[in-house]
Amino acid sequence: MGDELGPGLLGCIIGFFLAGVVGRIVRYILWHWGRVRAIGNPQIVAHTTDRTPWQVLVAGCRSLVLLVGAFVLVVIVLILASSVFGWDRIIGLVRSVAQP
């Protein structure tokens, strides 16, 4: 298990570095096209809505509860399936789905 840590960590570091390079290039292009202006100044945003901040908060909490509920449901289904088929087959299934 410890032998597999090096290549994964190196790949993660290389990925973050390349994402930074691509981000700088995109920012440079947008800046010179004139789509980014006065990056340090506050923006003027005009937006009207019929929802109150409380309604937005409640909708966000509902979404979070649905997300956690879906995660718990998937875990329960995996546990029940493992009791029927065994952990080896379930782990094989999850690995086959996760691999490209």
CA 80 – CA 67 distance, rounded (Å): 20
| Sequence spans of domains, the chain | 10-37+51-98
- One DSSP character per residue, the chain reads -GGGHHHHHHHHHHHHHHHHHHHHHHHHHHHHHT-S--TTSPPP-----S--HHHHHHHHHHHHHHHHHHHHHHHHHHHHHHHHH-HHHHHHHHHHHH--
Contact by Cβ (8 Å): 65, 57? no
| pTM tops 0.75 | no
Q: Going residue by residue through the chain (100 aa), what tens digit of pLDDT does each one get?
A: 456 666 677 888 999 999 999 999 988 887 777 766 666 667 777 888 888 889 999 999 999 999 999 999 999 998 998 888 888 888 888 888 887 6
